[in-house]
Amino acid sequence: MIRLGFIIALVAIVGILLSGFAAFRIYDQEAAVERIALGRAIDVHASQVQDRLTERELLGRVASGLFRTPAVIKADMLKPLRSSIYAFKTDFLLASWVVRLKGNDFAAAEAELASAGYKDIKIRHSDGSLIDPATQTEPLDVVLDIEPRNPETTALLGRSLDDHPVLGRMFAKSLADGKPEASDPARLQVPGNPLGIVLAAPVMNEDTSQAVGFITFSYDLSALMLTNDDMSLFSVVLKDPRQPDVELVADDRGKISERPVGRDQPPPTIVRTVTFGDRDWSLAYYAKVSPFVRAQQVAAIVAATGLALTFIICGLFGYVSNSNVRLRREIEMRIGFERRLTAVIDELNHRVKNILAVIQSIVTRTLRHGADMDVARELLIGRIHAMSNVVSLLSESQWQGVMLKGLFEARAIPHADRIAVNGPDIAVSARAAQSLSLLFFELASHSDEGLSLVGKHPHIVATWEVTGEGADSVFNFRWEEFNTSEATRRPESEFGVILLERVAPEALGGTAKRYFTDVSYVYELIAPMETVVDMNERDRTGQISAPLRRS
């Protein structure tokens, strides 16, 4: 025993040493691999962002280069560009034509805006206050065309953007450098007012090589940053150029929010710089899971694997025991399923025999000796169709019953569009549904023979109600065909009389009567609700159709 214990202890020590050495090596390798994978993913993301920004800056340069007209004071300057700029890129939120106006150009610009259909257009400051043209000695940058046009964007028409706290500096720098310039992040003048960036591209006069205006494109900041993905290894934020201690972060819905940088907050994993609109923008990347933490987790798993080998044999015994228990349960369920299947087959045989007996009776009674074959064939087809319809409805409900109003569908009852149905939509049993379906067809098939007393087809009203409570509740049904008489209504066939007066009432355990009034034909049926609903039949069918449960 001592030797066996010594051997076991020696194997345990060797296993622990090997597990620790393997965990250390795994930690070192995993940390290096995770750092490389994170760096590559960030480089790919920064490259994609830079490509998107370059494409949009190229759009501004191409759009400004498409202007070849000396007349710049026009309210539709973007019209020839719309197809081009939409074909190139379509994710900008707002495009505008900003023209440089002198004081003596104000009248022409206001007239141009008025001719374009805009009312009360005056050249104004960015805050909406009017500008006196006599006091303007320097050109102003005024919005004369915009895309898309809606109530929020057209409010910018006629406004000078030179005094705008964000856009004014952008126009001044773009004018001085003669190339596209991007603005600081600002709220855009579009529905929802997302945080975005405006890119202004100067349009140069071919003769004087001076800027006559600007083409501007406004972009949602989240679209340029490529919003954060839940499956990515990192989250990305944009350093706010206006506030060095603030970061702009986009959520999974693309909404940009400001986040202050706290002193206790860990620094970003990697910072990348992208260029857009002659400016540098800093993207800070934060790893969602530290590569060192992930390496520690993998190393811990490797170390735990060595110890877990001890429990493999116990796991095998548990697995075998669990398999035996599951096999026993499966056998019990299979036996129960076979018993249930036998009961279902017996129930199906019983229902099929009943349906075949009813159909045999229908055929025998309909095709009796001496009957008109055309009329008999039509009645036979209709009666069998009514039976087929109720069987379909019962199959859909797994023979749990049929809603009473469903028996009045046009596919089973002729002239259903002229039947006014009124009554609670109760669920009748399978047996009652078969009897009532034949009953309704028999009544409806005799209601359209010729014209009624007023020269029109009879109007039919089918009403029912439930009176009483509990075991004493009674089902009262009334069928009334108005504006008809014994002379205009075809008499019921022998089978119809038997069905109306004997078969249907006896199947429901009730009584029936039919008679003519001065202006209508009436059929009344009274039966106890316990036979109409038949809860015993429903419970028995429900037990058969219920899903099997594990014992």
Q: What is the pLDDT of residues 170-211, one digit of tens each?
A: 988 988 888 899 999 988 887 778 888 999 999 887 766 788
d(C-alpha 514, C-alpha 236), whole Å: 83
- Which pair of tokens denotes residue 107? 């009248």
- Radius of gyration over every alpha carbon of the chain, rounded to an integer in angstroms: 43
pLDDT band of 484, cuts 50, 70, 90: confident
User: What are the structure tokens assigned to 321, written together?
Assistant: 């025991």
Tens of pLDDT along 427-440? 888 778 878 888 88
Whether the predicted pLDDT of 376 surpasses 90: no
Query: How does residue 116 score in pLDDT terms, banded at 50, 70 and 90?
Result: confident
Sheet hosting strand 419-422, strand order edge to edge: 419-422, 459-467, 474-482, 520-528, 511-516
Look up the CATH architecture of domain 18-289: 2-Layer Sandwich (3.30)
**Which of 491, 492, 415, 485 lies closest to 448 in space, CA to CA?**
415
111 Cβ neighbours under 8 A, 6+ residues apart: none
Residue 187, SS3? Answer: strand
Q: Give the start-to-end residue ranges of the domains of the chain.
A: 18-289, 337-545
Q: Which two tokens stand for residue 523?
A: 């059929």
> What is the pLDDT, as a whole number, of residue 102?
87
Which whole number is the average pLDDT over 256-284?
A: 86
- Residue 323 in tokens: 């398999």
Tally of helices (H runs) and strands (E runs) in the chain: 13, 18
Which has the higher per-residue pLDDT, 303 or 312? 303
Percent of the chain with pLDDT over 70: 76
Query: Comparing C-alpha atoms, which of 119, 99, 96 is closest to residue 109?
Result: 99
Q: In CATH, which of 1.10.20, 1.10.10, 3.30.565, 3.40.50 is domain 337-545? A: 3.30.565
Beta bridge partners of 196: 186, 220
Q: How confident is the model over 70-85, as a mean pLDDT?
A: 75
Rounded to 10°, the helix 535-545/312-366 angle is: 140
pLDDT band at 318 (very low <50, low <70, confident <90, very high): very low
State pLDDT tens for residues 515-547: 888 888 899 999 998 888 866 665 555 554 555
Amino acid type, 202: P
Q: Which two tokens stand for residue 60?
A: 């501004």
**For residue range 25-54, what is the model confidence (pLDDT) as tens digits?**
877 887 788 788 888 888 888 898 888 888
- pLDDT per residue as tens digits for the range 143-176: 988 888 888 888 888 888 888 888 989 988 988 8
> Which DSSP helix (H) or strand (E) runs through 71?
none
